[in-house]
Structure 1
């Protein structure tokens, strides 16, 4: 009886371990979503560029410079110092944030004086790239497209999703990482 039971178990195990074919995953094509997303982003960038061109045309007394990083800027105050921030330098700056209608969103009192170690701390991409263009004492106005600032999330407070912004930044001090710079 014991022998028959063991034989039954062994046979059950042998036959139950047959070669079952695995189910194939269901493939869903997402190229249409990606294509729609790409075309939406292209049209968003084009619309923001048109808005910035209107702003630059209205401000005809100023010369705006196109950054290779995808934003525009102008000098409000240019210092004669030629030193530009490098990796690890500590920057002290203040800034104000405006919408494209030049209505203030954040004052310099609200944002306060900021300290940033170049490329060692997280700040918005546009500001990170813009500060590297400034010398100590400079004051710039930056026109940042939405993807260079808060993008599709906004700041969850005062800045909406996909909102292009104007930043007015004053670089107060550059503390060099080492004196060999």
Structure 2
């Protein structure tokens, strides 16, 4: 019986031992993230240089830099002082657009994509165009120069636009309908 009690006492003390953490055999550093940051900074710098070269070469137009990281110029500006409205959250806009490479090769011609009806900030649209449309007034035509991170980014559009392509987009804003107007018509 003594042996039995000693055996139970030994097992009891051994069972009270706290678990020890298991460490991985190999440890990886965060070097992949650092390399990715450097690579993306170099890509952005290259794209900005391309865009600045295009802007310098086009002396007929005055380009503006947006606070959102893209450049734009007015092809047709709305000078009507009574029409100062730009789209806001929830407004429905209708616009036509074309997309080309920075050197002017057409990717999507105007009309190739149907007139786009878009609810501001409530539907999917690439970030640069989503922000650019908000700068426009009804009847204006604007050309935007987007670095790839403001366009279709790493994935492209899975059709004609490849990985990390900066693009030029010409947009004509046809109509702005306020959300309240649409609700009153229904």
- Structure-2-length-normalised TM-score: 0.84
Cα distance in 2 for partners of 1:64, 1:124 equals 21
Residue 117 of structure 1, CA deviation: 0.6
Cα distance in 2 for partners of 1:60, 1:140 equals 16
Out of 54-63 and 13-22, give the one that drifted further.
Answer: 13-22
3-state secondary structure, aligned to 1:109: coil
Residue 95 of structure 1, CA deviation: 0.3
4+ residue runs of structure 1 moved beyond 4 angstroms?
A: 10-16
Match of 2:122 in 1: 120
- Structure-1-length-normalised TM-score: 0.87
Residue 13 of structure 1, CA deviation: 7.7
3-state secondary structure, aligned to 2:28: coil
Residue 130 of structure 1, CA deviation: 0.0
Match of 1:75 in 2: 74
Cα distance in 2 for partners of 1:128, 1:63 equals 22
Deviations 1:69-110 (A, max 9, x none): 000000000112210111110000010000011010001222
3-state secondary structure, aligned to 1:56: helix
Match of 1:3 in 2: none
Structure 2, unpaired ranges of 5+: 182-186
Go from structure 1 to structure 2 and tell me whether the alpha carbon gap of 1:115 and 1:13 turns closer, same or farther (over 3 Å shift).
farther
Structure 1 segment 3-152 matched on structure 2, within 5 A: 14=12, 17-19=15-17, 20-25=19-24, 27-30=27-30, 32-79=31-78, 80=80, 81-152=83-154
Match of 2:184 in 1: none
3-state secondary structure, aligned to 2:131: helix
